[in-house]
Amino acid sequence: MSVRAADFPYLSGPTPLALAHRGGALLPDNVGLENTLGAFRRARALGYRHLETDAHVTADGEVVAFHDDSLDRVTDAEGRIADLPWSEVSQARVGGVEPVPRLADLLEEMPDALLNIDVKADAALEPTVEVLRRHGAVERVCIGSFSERRVRAARRALGPRLATAAGPVGTAALRFTPDVVARVLHTPAPVLQVPAHHRVAGRVVELVTPGFVRRAHAAGKQVHVWFHSWSVEDAPEYHRLLDLGVDGVVADRIDVLADVLAERGRPLTGGAVG
């Protein structure tokens, strides 16, 4: 039986979905404070209900909402998260200001938020599954990963009501190879999350085309688009993707995307967490 996006509560709202990437990493007030509760609060205040985050696990099993495998880049501390106990990670400050949140903290503070979770490490999968079970959050999350094996394991563990994103689909094969497209469209994942562009042999190619979106929709899938750090992410690009019919945009410039959606008659209505 084909797995269709409409069958999942996480994906059942009106499209296009607006997802705040790491809470909206390039919102001016969030720069340097990605994946913090403060960043997610500001996204919610703009009306974002769908929040994108990443998951790593500490040496003693705490799942943190954090992108990198080490603290070095964005905090005032150092060390690989997997090698550190939560007691040390909890003392680190993102941008020297905000603590690293646990996934449980995010689920508890924002019980009506919908989370897109990228499980970044094999060791993080089972603890993430346990956090979601404990909080009864299976139907309000979408699990993705560059590891197809992790995504399959999450489906097995959490059952058919879990929305998942197709595994490593960010390749030029999706754009140019019909048999790969056909295989991906028959994935048990209801959503395809792809980069807007991909570098192949030194040149940038567009992965999201009218044909690809059309085939995805015919299979009952949604198409969500994210951006590489080197991608152009601005209002014209958002308009271009929305004109192609994509179902979701994973944005860093969440203020700009909110303006674009309002201009198109689709203002955000998620509201702030009280």
Catalytic positions: 21, 67
CA distance 74 to 33: 8
Do residues 217 and 6 touch, judged by C-beta distance below 8 A? no
Query: Residues 6 or more apart from 37 whose CB is under 8 A from it?
Result: 98, 99, 101, 105, 106, 109
- C-alpha separations of 97 from 21, 32, 123 in Å: 20, 10, 28
Query: Residues 6 or more apart from 214 whose CB is under 8 A from it?
Result: 245
Q: Which of 80, 57, 18, 9 is nearest to 251 (CA)?
A: 18
- Residue 224, number of CB atoms within 10 A of its CB: 27
CA distance 12 to 241: 20
DSSP tag of 31:
T
Q: Which of 232, 257, 249 is nearest to 46 (CA)?
A: 257
Return the C-alpha torsion angle 159, 9, 133, 56, nearest 10.
100
Helix H or strand E encompassing 100: none
